Structure 1
Amino acid sequence: MSSKDIVVKAAGELFGDKDPDAVDRWVAADYRQHSSLAADGPEALRQLVAGLPDGFRYEGARVIADKDLVALHGTYYGFGPEPLVAFDLFRVDADGKLAEHWDALTPLVTETASGRSQTEGPTEISDPGQTEANRALVLEFAEKVLKGADYSVLTDYISTETYLQHNPEAADGLDGFGAAAAKWGEQGKNLVYKTVHKAVAEGDFVLLQSEGEFGIPVAYWDLFRFADGKIVEHWDVVAPVPDKLPHPNGLF
């Protein structure tokens, strides 16, 4: 089985079937956790799955596979009082087991500036031959724009014709992004990217995991879709970095 098939199958049994015994089938003995929701190791994951409430469900939107890393984008219902939009990232080891996990979650927003939900949009991977070119473009964009704050080169990377936005507070287009950024700045929440940790790429999709500040320390998870060498769509989760974690592994 491919890494993508393993993660989809494992996640389905763990969080779809809510089967704690799926931990024995799919999770490595040295499972390393980075989430703020669970302690380290397979037994902590088993306890999490065993404690899921009756109304819990996961609604998947897209899956992005990059060698041994597989990212899931979707919505959890029943994890808390409100639905949570999430990115989950798993590393699959050589034995086909889930060996490491990162995530970021944010509340579902029903009314967004663009009118689009936080997860809707294309789900199928296209242009597999452009994977590395798109990864390189996102990393360059991250250095110059996200970390370097050089917004004069935005149009080198983002389409001026079609830029669809799924951030709840930003409307479509570069003007929509600019207006949202200005509003955030007035609230003391400037977009500050300090470190890019991972760029998970498959075809026309690239998921960037970064850390920085948005008024407070945050984890930025940005998913970009490309067409003709430009970013044409964006989804994200901006999650606060907690003061304490239930493990010593860090959030990243």
Structure 2
Amino acid sequence: MKITQILAWTFGCILACISPSAKANIYMDTISNKQKVLSFYKQIVGQRKTELIPEFIVEDYKQHNPIVKQGRAGITEMINYLKTLPPPPENAKSPIVRAIQEGDFVVTHLDIQFMGKRMAVIDLFKLKDGMLTEHWDAIQALPDESGKEITATNGTAKIDEVALSEHSKQVVMNFYDAIIEKSGAANFIASDYVEHNSEILASGLASFLSTPDRNIKLHRFVAESDFVMVQSQFNRLGIVFLFYEIYRIANNQIAEHWSVEQIVPDGVKAEDMF
């Protein structure tokens, strides 16, 4: 499947009703960055209102997905393409499973189902003064998980508002320090933690991340309360992958883990996607 098709289907599946807080008549200068991103999904992607793009996207919007053009022109081109496709059904389930905000960064975790295909997506947006200025993402095709109790995207979605963001982030950063230093990383993982990646489940998270010659390079940590997103890259058999993860922290340990990995396309430098 071409990445362009995946991107189009990803955008095509965002529904018109994402969140009650993302109503069309809300004052854009008073909402949070998370609400602004959800409103972007709702009005620009879901309702395909290209005329509102200047209210959401800066002119020199930086796109780290090499398939999409830079600036407002890239978003406009994608939405104009979506206008040629059938709209999503009104009663379809929203693909946005969870959303995380820290300062100028907003992370969304999506489960896309379209035309018999299913993808997990993690988007990362940067905003300034309430406008979207930059975007990163990773997209992974998923197998049929019908009947499974634990899937790639289900599980806890509600944020524990009592949890401290900096503490949760520090737990994950310390975990990665232990992975890189090869010293006691398994101690950071709860005995009953829930793993949503079936490939990781076979070996365990610490072992999976400690694979020889993985050459992990960490780029960003974004945390809200008990949720932490990690943006990184790694090698496997000489191939470079984007690796986006979401951790849920409870009682000072990793309680739940989701991930999306994507091969860096041929001819593209990995650093350009970060």
TM-score normalised per structure 1: 0.83
Q: Which one of 230, 249, 253 corresponds to residue 230 of structure 1?
A: 253
Cα distance in 2, alignment partners of residues 221 and 87 from structure 1: 7
Cα distance in 2, alignment partners of residues 178 and 138 from structure 1: 12
1:198 aligns with 2:228: no
Cα distance in 2, alignment partners of residues 234 and 191 from structure 1: 22
Matches within 5 A, 1:211-226: 211-215=233-237, 216-226=239-249
Do the aligned partners of residues 193 and 133 (structure 1) sit closer, same or farther apart at CA in structure 2, a change above 3 Å counting? farther
Q: Which runs of 5+ in 1 are unaligned?
A: none
Cα distance in 2, alignment partners of residues 126 and 24 from structure 1: 34
Shift of 1:109: 2.1
Aligned residue number for residue 169 of structure 1 = 199
Q: Is the 8 A contact 1:32 1:249 kept in 2?
A: no
Shift of 1:181: 4.2
Aligned residue number for residue 69 of structure 2 = 39
Q: Which one of 143, 161, 168 corresponds to residue 134 of structure 1?
A: 168
Cα distance in 1, alignment partners of residues 79 and 213 from structure 2: 35
Q: Which one of 79, 83, 88 corresponds to residue 123 of structure 2?
A: 88
Q: Is the 8 A contact 1:68 1:93 kept in 2?
A: yes
Aligned residue number for residue 250 of structure 1 = 272
Q: Please provide the CA RMSD for this pair.
A: 2.9
Do the aligned partners of residues 221 and 7 (structure 1) sit closer, same or farther apart at CA in structure 2, a change above 3 Å counting? same
Superposition misfits of 4+ residues, deviation over 6 angstroms: none
Aligned residue number for residue 207 of structure 1 = 229
Q: Which runs of 5+ in 2 are unaligned?
A: 1-30
AA paired with 1:82?
K
Q: Is the 8 A contact 2:58 2:131 kept in 1?
A: yes
Q: Which one of 185, 192, 195 corresponds to residue 154 of structure 1?
A: 185
Shift of 1:22: 3.0
Q: Is the 8 A contact 1:14 1:23 kept in 2?
A: yes
Which structure is higher in RCO with an 8 Å CA cutoff and minimum separation 6?
1
Aligned residue number for residue 118 of structure 1 = 152
Q: Which one of 42, 48, 52 corresponds to residue 22 of structure 1?
A: 52
Do the aligned partners of residues 50 and 76 (structure 1) sit closer, same or farther apart at CA in structure 2, a change above 3 Å counting? farther
SS at match of 1:238: strand
Q: Is the 8 A contact 2:264 2:270 kept in 1?
A: no
Q: Is the 8 A contact 1:69 1:89 kept in 2?
A: yes
Identity among equivalent positions (%) equals 26
Cα distance in 2, alignment partners of residues 235 and 194 from structure 1: 17
Name the count of aligned residue pairs: 236
AA paired with 2:218?
V
AA paired with 1:66?
E
Cα distance in 2, alignment partners of residues 248 and 208 from structure 1: 16
Aligned residue number for residue 64 of structure 1 = 100
Deviations 1:166-205 (A, max 9, x none): 113243xxx75279849xx7xxxx6714311000100110
Shift of 1:108: 2.1
Q: Which one of 98, 101, 125 corresponds to residue 135 of structure 2?
A: 101
1:3 aligns with 2:13: no
SS at match of 1:116: coil
SS at match of 2:216: strand
TM-score normalised per structure 2: 0.77
Aligned residue number for residue 76 of structure 1 = 112
SS at match of 2:98: strand
Shift of 1:228: 0.6
AA paired with 1:177?
G
Cα distance in 2, alignment partners of residues 86 and 43 from structure 1: 22
